[in-house]
Structure 1
């Protein structure tokens, strides 16, 4: 592209120089020739007037008289009737410029000048015009190179940015070039990069959340299926199959919830539900895992509480807390329910060492973990709690106490803005 820009600019300059240069040469050549002719004419008329004045004054007219009147490189012939011709200067050879002036007393004065003097003057003029044209060409090349670099370099950068976007690197460059059209393209690419970055972040977050949230239900389901394969009692098989179907339904709810949060985290299906049912479901689901570790899981506190939220989401939050206690805690895990103001609170605690001091304030951040785990369980649990207007907090670090706060009265969800609708779409 640089070469094409330079060639096109240089071609335009050469055409302009050719058109105007040739016209200027023709005009200057004619001007110089006409000027030389006018000088010869003026010289002949001047000498004729001098001869007239001397004839009328009856003065002597000789070649010496006009020696200083004729400039160098010119030749003059004065013819007076009845007298021999008077020649002044050296007679030129070759092509000449001449003019003959007639005097009032019948005399004639002829002045000649070599055309070579005009040729030399035309040559000097052509040299000047050529030098100016050469300077114009050099300036045009430099300007073309500068313009080509100014236009080609940004286009190269924009092409690299587009290639990076296509290869999965959505970092915006925020680089501008001082050319409105190119800056507009850069703005669009940066906006696209930011949108792609948000989309990739959302997809990675969904994948991480899905892998974490589905792991527990799938593990519990596999345990139920193993129980079925190890027994021949039809009643036991039926009971375990019923529990497995319940876990499949919960697994489906987890998937739907994840997809819903991926589209719009504020879009929930909050209803008033019996908190005891959700807690009971979690106890039944996690008791086999705790028995396998030689530990117990119990519940206590106020009964028959109703809370507002999505039962599946609340179950996922409690499952995350219970699993966290299983992996990082110790002793018996207790789920306690209580009421504070207009909120129902579910506290999950165990007898383990608790949360390290250096992790206390950051325990709900993604990738923060006290051991070799994913570090996203508590972060996902907090997002699920907040989606329906609740909140998840760490009430105590040692021994660990986590509290899930749920409203007891339905809340009014704010209407979606146009930007939110575009995001969902």
Structure 2
């Protein structure tokens, strides 16, 4: 039995069959943040356990380069939903897997991750429920919850700096879903932790959550985000320039409002028909007005013409919202494809494989690499569904 109160890193390789070909999947052991660091900062998961990450060491030419990747997993916006997380890996390191697969952008194999395979690659475990952004506590005498995402972020950085991050030459902050949102919130802050001569950039995957009404014209996602920000004490850490530009400071939890104020080079990777946003923002329920959408949500070929028109409207909203960024940025990058998917950098088949989705002949991995290393301008926007035949069109339940 491995004692989870100890910090450790284990790496093993497991050969698995993927699409008929042998490929290596890297499994990396969990590392808990030092108890002294966590205690000094008050950095705890929702249940009070220690925050954690998975670190795979770099080698060769990448030994001094670093990727920090925020894990995703939604949010908890009330005490009940946060308490539910405390008995899962989303709220407690006691329930986190001892070993985790690192694939896609975190793979250590050149033919699976050509530009970043030999970097130090770190997967930051998500256990706060507010995209690593809150700092408060709930205690009613019966239940105790630590909303310490901001402190978790700081504690992990303090744990990694003496392990080599302080001497980085290149660094990339990335994340998927709620972790992709965390990139928008922490990109400039990450830059501030490293010397000015370090090349620092950020990549948000499936994190551009839109502030749009659902099909019943309710502001479902805005309500959820407002509750997350209020419950977990997030507002104090939101971008101050963004706050001064909007009527409600809570709006700065949305990427579209903070995007204009991010100064560190940023790459936005998203599907124009993001499956999570389709199911939880655009059509967030199953009964009533949403009932006719059930077949469409499972299979887009079952959508009516009217439903497809609604989806095309969602795509257009995303492109219009992103337009100032990709038309004005000189350091940013964009890869907006028309695959019905969510999180394309973590999954090997959508990151870099012979049959991966492509735009202008580039896979996601190639497009991100071209942008990071400034080999090419990367502003790629797909044609509307269903014109892209390279898509896998995964639709999670």
More strand per residue? 2
> What TM-score do you get using the length of structure 2 for normalisation?
0.21
More helix per residue? 1
* Greater relative contact order, per chain length (Cα 8 Å cut-off, separation 6+): 2
Pair member with larger Rg? 1
> What TM-score do you get using the length of structure 1 for normalisation?
0.20
